[in-house]
Chain A
Amino acid sequence: MNPITADRRHFEDLVLGEVVGLGQVTVTRQMITAFAREFDPFPFHLDEEAAKKSLLGGLAASGWQTGALTLRLLTDAFLSKIASAGGLGFSDLKWKRPVMKNDTITGTGRITELRRSRSHPQWGVVTIELDMRNQANQPVMTMKLANLVETRDPVEPQPAQSYDVETGRGS
């Protein structure tokens, strides 16, 4: 028993189609330049004058910062409240529109897949589709994130009846 996650929602408690509302964050000039200095030092993320002359037309956050801030919002609203056992990765990440200085981003996460791990019965995998928007409700980023969640009962409840697609036989 993991004392940290014992009282949290486990894999069995999650519901397919469940929608998690995320909080919001306003992305300041200081946040943009601090992140860019460490992880994405392109002039259009660092310098307001250079940014005005760039394709983006003004100081914009690194797309990776938009992703990291989304992770923070998801952690606060969801991952810290479930028996999370770590991220598996993500797919189909699309940067739709740059996040500009003083934009406020928020969004939703929807549970689109729940499956048990075959090799590790103590875990299930939750897939969350994220839809991030700016203050004008314009999409800024979408992605599908996969995360491990501890199961309460490592034995999967077997359905009373199953149907074999290959043979067409019921059992």
Chain B
Amino acid sequence: MTRWFEDITIDEAFPLGSHTFTEDEIVRFARDYDPQYFHLPNAGAEHSHFGGVIASGWHTVVVGHRKMVDALAAEEQRLRGLGQEPGESGPGAGVNRMEFKSPVRPGDTVTYTLVVSAKRPSNSLPGWGILTNQLSAVNQRGEPVYHAELIGFSKLRDFKMPLRLRILEALTKIPGLGRLLLGSR
């Protein structure tokens, strides 16, 4: 999220855009990462209950991640255009759950939407907030493709470092003592 923690609205839907999956890219991803017979051509996919080639669930997920990265970059540009300083997002910490709902076939178009359902300041990372992100993907018929609950980080704009952390930081800058303090962690 390229908004400051304080500016993130709970339950607001961010459209992330759409992606149409070609057979070529489905097969290319499957060859690298998920070479099961129902993801490959001429491997007997017609015998599976899918009745033909479908995309790896993980492929639909990483494309969703790409759409999120692109949407955040666009939001950053938009905020800069308004003369504002954009916030900062941290690396993903994990995925609470990922549920594949229906298969993606060659030619299907998947539309992705992000909703932040909860946020709280982090205890372990001072200056950062923890976000609970809901990512949903639906196909051109409105059928759910997957739903994910992911954990993300966003920087606090109004964070003031507590006095004891500022003192610790100053002490670590003293040669010798700093190494002692940091080394003892």
Contact = CB atoms under 8 A, between A and B. Distances in A.
Contacts of B36: 75, 79-80, 84
Contacts of B57: 86-87, 89
The majority secondary structure among interface residues of chain B is mixed
Contacts of A42: 69
Contacts of A68: 32-34, 58, 62
Given A39-B63, A86-B38, A89-B99, A2 B48 contact: yes
Interface in A88-123: 88-95
Given A71-B58, A87-B100, A38 B66 contact: yes
A89 B97 CA distance: 8
Contact of B98 (A5, A79, A90): A90
B49 A95 contact: no
Q: Which 9 A-B pairs have the closest CB atoms?
A: A93-B95, A4-B44, A68-B33, A39-B62, A91-B97, A89-B99, A94-B94, A89-B98, A72-B33
A77 interface: no
A91 B95 contact: yes
Contacts of B65: 39-40, 64
